């Protein structure tokens, strides 16, 4: 592989040296300008040619990071709600940071560290920065694959480990009280399915009566309702495991039958005004709930009834915690939640104060229980 050094005379009469060679990847000429002397250009050419021989050559790229990110995003398959979140990060953060206009081929660990530091200074937390990493890391992995970078500089960046969210959960007695007082609330069907079926909010609002099988005590989860950028619709569920049967208790089945009868009565009363979407969890006229409205109404109802505040999603955590404290292991709970055992164990299984007290008592019994020999009093003889 050979190249050559040349020069051009600037308007001021000075010589500006360059080197040129043929790219082994694209077959096109590669030129690097701006050297002050022929020796500088020749030395740089030697380094470039040596990188080809050692397999370390990276094709020069004039694409900026934001151009590359947008192209990656355009071709990347994501759920609709995830796309909205990614678009927000790309357009409202990456695109507005100085890193956006840097060439992909010039990115270094330090420049990405500066980006994270700037975002943190702007008020973003560790969990949010983790989502930024979920974009930058695969984008730059692709840049390595496309031979625009030798290595992915983001993989050398360190972020603080996000603090794990500590869900607030109800015990069995609190769930029973909640269900009793919520029976007259418009969002009762959604609360019922979240507590007994551990449905995610979108799944909850997208589930139809056609998926309900009272004879087998099951409910099939096959779609989720979303509202993104003011546009509503139905989408696939979160993961392959999410599309599954949920088994419900006799109590939950009985309540769903009662709810269905009430809906049929309302349908007859409203006539043409009834919106027949076939939804289990719907507004009084049959139309779907906005997911954020469910969360707000849930919080307001808890306050109105004097119950401790929890998030609507914490009903899913509550479901897992109660199962765990009644003998279910992580694998069983993962199956019920339609998650992996690792996610179930790390995210959804919490230990209540009642369980902690019981374990403390168990420890005490092991040390001082009736089957143990009495400890000698300090200072006793023998």
SS3 per residue for 140-185: HHHHHHCCCCCCCHHHHCCCCCCCCCCCCCCCHHHHHHHHHHHCCC
CA distance 50 to 324: 61
CA distance linking residue 190 with residue 313, whole number of Å? 11
Whether 137 shows a pLDDT value over 90: the answer reads yes
Distance CA 199, CA 294 (A): 13
Please indicate, yes or no, whether residues 219 and 322 belong to a single structural domain of this protein: yes
Tally of structural domains, the chain: 3
12 and 96 housed in the same domain = no
Question: What pLDDT, on the 0 to 100 scale, is given for residue 354?
Answer: 65
- Mark which of 102, 123, 156 sits at the end of a domain: 156
- Give a yes or no: residue 347 inside a domain: yes
Give yes or no: residues 282 and 305 share one domain.
Answer: yes
Examine the domain organization and report whether 39 and 81 are in the same domain.
Answer: no
User: Using 50, 70 and 90 to split pLDDT, how confident is the model at 57?
Assistant: low
Shared domain check, 333 and 220:
yes
Q: What is the CATH number of the domain that holds 349?
A: 1.10.443.10
Q: Cβ atoms within 10 A of the Cβ of 217, count?
A: 15
Q: Is residue 165 part of a domain?
A: no
- Let me know whether 34 and 123 are in one domain: no
In this prediction, residue 382 carries a pLDDT of: 44
Helix, strand, coil share (%) of the chain residues, nearest 5 = 50, 10, 35
Q: Which of 121, 156, 191 is the last residue of a domain?
A: 156
Report the share of the chain in percent with pLDDT over 70: 88
Share of the chain above pLDDT 90, in %: 52
Residue 131 has pLDDT above 50, yes or no: yes
Q: Are residues 177 and 301 in the same domain?
A: yes
Q: Are 202 and 291 in contact (CB under 8 A)?
A: yes
Average pLDDT, the chain: 86
Confidence of residue 380 (pLDDT cuts 50, 70, 90): very low
Angle value at C-alpha 192, between 213 and 166, nearest 5 degrees? 125
Domain assignment present for 249: yes
pLDDT digits (tens, 9 = 90+) for 105-116: 889 999 999 999
The better pLDDT of the pair 295, 335 is held by 295
Structural domain contains residue 147: yes
338 and 199, same structural domain?
A: yes
- Asked whether residue 41 falls in the same domain as residue 80, the answer is no
**Chain segment 193-227, per-residue pLDDT in tens:** 999 999 999 999 999 999 999 999 999 988 888 88
Answer with the one of 156, 190, 222 that is the final residue of a domain.
156
Answer yes or no: is 161 within a domain. no
User: What's residue 371's pLDDT?
Assistant: 56
Is residue 216 assigned to a domain?
Answer: yes
How would you classify residue 199: left for phi > 0, otherwise alpha for psi between -120 and 50, otherwise beta?
beta
CATH number at residue 140: 1.10.150.130
- 46 lies in the same domain as 115: no
Residue 164 lies in a domain: no
Which tens digit of pLDDT belongs to each residue from 229-268?
778 888 777 555 555 789 999 999 999 999 999 999 999 9
Question: Containing domain of residue 14, as a range?
Answer: 3-53
Are residues 209 and 118 part of one domain?
no
Q: Is residue 8 part of a domain?
A: yes
**329 pLDDT tier (thresholds 50, 70, 90):** confident
> How many CB atoms are located within 10 Å of the residue 93 CB?
21
Q: How confident is the model at residue 378 (pLDDT cuts 50, 70, 90)?
A: very low
Do the Cβ atoms of 256 and 214 come closer than 8 Å?
yes
Give exposure, 107-122, as e/b (b: 16+ Cβ within 10 Å).
beeebbbebbeebeee
Q: How many whole angstroms separate alpha carbon 284 and alpha carbon 274? A: 9
Q: How far apart are CA 351 and CA 324, in angstroms?
A: 8
134 and 114 in a common domain: yes
């Amino acid at each position: 592989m050979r190249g050559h050094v040349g020069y051009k005379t600037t308007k001021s009469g000075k010589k500006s040296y360059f080197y040129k060679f043929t790219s082994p990847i694209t077959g096109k000429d590669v030129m690097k300008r701006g050297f002050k002397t022929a020796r500088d250009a020749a030395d740089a050419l030697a380094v470039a040619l040596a990188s080809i021989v050692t397999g370390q050559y990276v094709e020069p790229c004039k694409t900026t990071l934001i151009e590359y990110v947008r192209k990656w995003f355009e071709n990347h398959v994501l759920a609709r709600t995830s796309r909205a979140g990614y678009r927000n990060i790309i357009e409202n953060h990456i695109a507005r940071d100085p890193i956006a206009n840097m060439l992909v081929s010039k990115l270094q660990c330090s420049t990405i560290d500066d980006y994270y530091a700037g975002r943190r200074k702007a008020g973003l937390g560790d969990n949010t920065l983790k989502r930024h990493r979920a974009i930058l890391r695969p984008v730059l992995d692709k840049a390595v694959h496309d031979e625009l970078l030798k290595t992915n500089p983001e993989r050398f960046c360190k972020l603080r480990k996000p603090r794990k969210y500590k869900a607030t959960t109800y015990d069995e007695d609190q769930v029973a009280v909640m269900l009793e007082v919520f029976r007259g609330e418009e969002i009762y069907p959604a609360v019922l399915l979240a507590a007994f079926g551990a449905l995610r909010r979108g799944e909850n609002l997208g589930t139809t009566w056609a998926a309900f099988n009272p004879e087998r005590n099951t409910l099939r989860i096959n779609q989720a309702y979303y509202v993104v950028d003011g546009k509503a619709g139905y989408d696939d569920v979160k993961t392959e495991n999410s599309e599954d049967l949920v088994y419900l208790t006799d109590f939950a089945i009985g309540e769903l039958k009662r709810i269905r009868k009430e809906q049929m009565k309302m349908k007859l009363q409203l006539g043409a005004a009834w919106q027949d979407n076939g939804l289990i969890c719907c507004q009084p006229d049959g139309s779907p709930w906005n997911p954020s409205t469910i969360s707000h109404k849930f919080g307001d109802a808890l306050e109105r009834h004097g119950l401790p505040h929890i998030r609507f999603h914490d009903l899913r955590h509550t479901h897992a915690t109660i199962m765990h404290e009644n003998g279910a292991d992580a694998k069983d709970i993962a199956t019920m939640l339609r998650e992996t055992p690792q996610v179930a164990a790390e995210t959804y299984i919490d230990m209540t104060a009642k369980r902690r007290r019981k374990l403390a008592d168990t420890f005490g019994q092991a040390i001082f229980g009736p089957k143990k020999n009495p400890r000698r009093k300090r200072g006793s003889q023998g």
